[in-house]
Amino acid sequence: MVRELRESVTEALSAAGFDRLFCLTDSTTLQVCWPLLADMPVMRDACMITIGDTDENKTTESLMHVWESLQHGGATRHSLLVNLGGGMVTDLGGFAASTFKRGIKFINIPTTLLAQVDASVGGKTGINFGGLKNEIGVFNCSERVLLASDFLGTLDDRNLLSGYAEMLKHGLLDCREHLYELLAFDPTVVRSGDAAARQGLVRMVGRSVAVKERIVEEDPTERGIRKALNLGHTAGHAIESLAMQEGRTVLHGYAVAWGLVMELYLCVVRCGFPGVVFHQVEEYVREHYGKFYFECRHYDRLTGFMKHDKKNIGEAVNFTLLGDVGDIRINETCSVQEIEQMLDYYREN
């Protein structure tokens, strides 16, 4: 598998063409993932740029560090940036490349399950700003996205589950057969060395990416159906923002999993989503992701974060909801009272 990764990287870089090569990592992927590529002839002259890991470093300061490193390294409009890392690296690196000298080429090599099925695919780039998730960014697709199962072996249980939450979302957007396959699988079993489990996860990753690609191709800049991919994210991003403010940062996928439970509750009461499916998803999330604890005193802040969601029009909070698995309802606006009922349900159950 490592040989296939190296062959893919060599082919992609040869096809891209560049005068100078730069590689962005975070402090973890520099140690864990870069060694798989470091001795490759095509990567040997890469100028390394490293930023801190975790989403707390998805900031203007990190962005400026990347810009300055590109500038000091002599990058031109014909240079190439390889983003080797999770979603934070591909988001921030893609934004840095998209804006440096009005845009240089970049390639994403996602190293986490989350980045493979979500962040590195679809052309969204950006950083957090003002305490809000992904507040600043642009749509710009990478030259290539190279998916390699080699990196899955570097992940702990929490990071495998974080990525798997986005796969659950894709199953909900697709069909019941897809969703039930996901609900019957525990991604952490791949750490046991079970070859069949790993092959199964790799196959499901491909299916998940195909769902996202199908939606993105139909609506590249999120004017319509691409909003479906925000299922679980209006509430999920609010959880992330609250957790960040309180110094108890959570992984993005965990916040999405909790957000799915909250928003599927709205689907049941607003759109007639089948309760039996809701409870199956809720049970899976409780078992694998636990619960995010908050109190009534947090409601105003959580609602305030939701009002800053980029899908909103005016003051209304805009959700993507489902009438059933695969029955997508975009632009569903909910009142503060409905949101508080959703928060009540999550907190009390």
Amino acid at 101: K
Instruction: State the Cα–Cα distance between residues 241 and 247, nearest whole angstrom.
Output: 10
Higher-pLDDT residue of 195, 126 = 126
The pLDDT, as a whole number, for residue 132 is 83
Q: Model confidence over 235-290: pLDDT tens digits?
A: 999 999 999 899 998 999 999 999 999 999 999 999 999 999 999 999 999 999 99
The pLDDT, as a whole number, for residue 106 is 97
284 in Cβ contact with 168 (< 8 Å): yes
Q: Model confidence over 154-169: pLDDT tens digits?
A: 899 999 999 999 999 9
User: What is the reported pTM?
Assistant: 0.90
Instruction: State the Cα–Cα distance between residues 279 and 277, nearest whole angstrom.
Output: 5
The pLDDT, as a whole number, for residue 258 is 98
Say if residue 1's pLDDT is above 70: no
Instruction: State the Cα–Cα distance between residues 201 and 128, nearest whole angstrom.
Output: 30
Q: What is the mean pLDDT of the chain?
A: 93
Q: Model confidence over 326-336: pLDDT tens digits?
A: 999 999 999 99
Pairing label, strands 144-145, 132-136: unpaired
The pLDDT, as a whole number, for residue 313 is 67
Say if residue 2's pLDDT is above 60: no
The pLDDT, as a whole number, for residue 309 is 76
Q: What percent of the chain has pLDDT over 90?
A: 83
The residue-averaged pLDDT of 303-309 equals 89
The residue-averaged pLDDT of 194-221 equals 92
Stretch among 10-24, 288-302, 305-319 having the lowest mean pLDDT: 305-319
- Strand, helix or coil at 57? helix
- β-partners of residue 22 are 47, 81
226 in Cβ contact with 113 (< 8 Å): no
Stretch among 46-55, 88-97, 314-323 having the lowest mean pLDDT: 314-323
Q: Is the Cα torsion angle 302, 306, 308, 313 positive or negative in sign?
A: negative
**Which domains, ranges and CATH numbers included, belong to the chain?**
2-154 (3.40.50.1970), 157-348 (1.20.1090.10)
The pLDDT, as a whole number, for residue 55 is 87
The secondary element (H helix, E strand) that includes residue 149 is: none
Nearest residue to 334 (alpha-carbon basis) of 271, 281, 277, 292: 271
